[in-house]
């Protein structure tokens, strides 16, 4: 039996759609999109989004952290030291221990630097953080992250912000089969069908930012992504028919005239 609850680090969430808070035209637009999406987890780039300076507009003024779970992330970090320092700061500001780790290898492709990512996961876990890890779609490395104490595996579908959709379904399927941790597609989603495909592959959720924030109509796209995640999950749970190269009549020959 498949446990249909979306549980991360022993906390249960209603929505399987996680939404980023960057790239919107305003905090107001961001808040509207998140409300429409139904998401109850939002990622927050600690180094880029104002969450502490009360003299300037703060994300918290628009999205209540008592109602929506904030997931601090380390966007913009390229070393383990920077990532760890950033998340320690997040813990000091808001007491957050459930975090998203993101250690990048370069500024052009924004692929994860997996050696630094693995090292960061080990160190942060020892400090009591519950680490959700952005990673490549390598099944071997995903298993190492799980063994290092990660609470969720978050492989990219394609480069961050590319909108290319899932490029390697085979690896995602392998990671799904070998891990009991929540598997969340992170980065590369471009349209609602991409989100639905991720869920049909057996992923537990998807994280989307650019595809919503940069859409011509972010609010409408947020709703589309919400419905796509729900639809994809229902499709996965329903159990698809086996693919067949040949046609099969919808009705039997019994009683044929």
Q: Give the dihedral sign, CA 173/174/178/182.
A: negative
Residue 252 has pLDDT above 70, yes or no: no
Q: What is the CA radius of gyration of the chain?
A: 19
User: 31-79: per-residue pLDDT in tens?
Assistant: 999 999 999 999 998 866 666 667 777 888 899 888 999 999 999 899 9
CB 92 within 8 A of CB 74: no
Task: Kindly list the strands in the beta sheet with 152-155, ordered across the sheet, starting from the edge strand earlier in the chain.
Answer: 152-155, 130-135, 98-101, 69-73, 41-45, 17-20, 205-208, 184-186
Q: DSSP class of residue 9?
A: T
Categorize the per-residue pLDDT at 248 as very low, low, confident or very high, splitting at 50, 70 and 90: confident
CB 112 within 8 A of CB 104: yes
Categorize the per-residue pLDDT at 255 as very low, low, confident or very high, splitting at 50, 70 and 90: low
Q: What CA–CA distance (Å, rounded) separates 129 from 149?
A: 10
User: 63-122: per-residue pLDDT in tens?
Assistant: 988 899 999 999 989 999 999 999 998 898 888 999 999 999 988 889 999 999 999 999
Residue 2 has pLDDT above 60, yes or no: no
CB 153 within 8 A of CB 181: yes
Residue 1 has pLDDT above 60, yes or no: no
Query: Could you count the other beta carbons within 10 Å of the beta carbon of residue 235?
Result: 14
Which active-site residues does the annotation give?
A: 100
Domains of the chain: residue spans and CATH? 12-238 (3.20.20.70)
Q: What is the pLDDT of residue 246?
A: 83
Q: What CA–CA distance (Å, rounded) separates 157 from 147?
A: 22
Q: What CA–CA distance (Å, rounded) separates 232 from 203?
A: 10
């Amino acid at each position: 039996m498949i446990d249909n609850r979306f549980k991360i680090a022993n906390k249960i969430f209603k929505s399987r759609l996680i939404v980023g808070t960057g790239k919107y035209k305003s905090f107001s637009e961001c808040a509207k999109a998140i409300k429409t999406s139904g998401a109850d987890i939002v990622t927050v780039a600690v180094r880029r989004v104002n969450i502490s300076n009360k003299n300037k507009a703060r994300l918290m003024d628009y999205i209540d952290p008592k109602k929506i779970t904030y997931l601090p992330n380390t966007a913009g970090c390229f070393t383990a030291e920077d990532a760890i320092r950033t998340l320690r700061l997040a813990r000091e500001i808001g007491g957050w221990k459930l975090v998203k780790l993101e250690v990048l290898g370069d500024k052009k492709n924004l692929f994860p630097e997996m050696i630094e990512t693995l090292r960061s996961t080990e160190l942060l876990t020892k400090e009591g953080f519950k680490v959700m890890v952005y990673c490549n779609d390598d099944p071997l490395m995903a298993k190492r992250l799980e063994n290092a104490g990660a609470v969720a595996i978050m492989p990219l579908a394609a480069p961050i912000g590319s909108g290319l959709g899932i490029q390697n379904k085979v690896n995602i399927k392998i990671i799904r089969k070998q891990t009991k941790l929540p598997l969340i597609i992170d980065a590369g989603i471009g349209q609602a069908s991409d989100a639905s495909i991720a869920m049909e592959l057996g992923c537990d959720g998807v994280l989307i930012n650019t595809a919503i924030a940069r859409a011509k109509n972010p609010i409408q796209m947020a709703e589309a992504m919400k419905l796509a995640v729900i639809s994809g999950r229902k499709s996965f749970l329903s159990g698809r028919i086996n693919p067949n190269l040949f046609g099969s009549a919808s009705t039997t020959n019994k009683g044929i005239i």
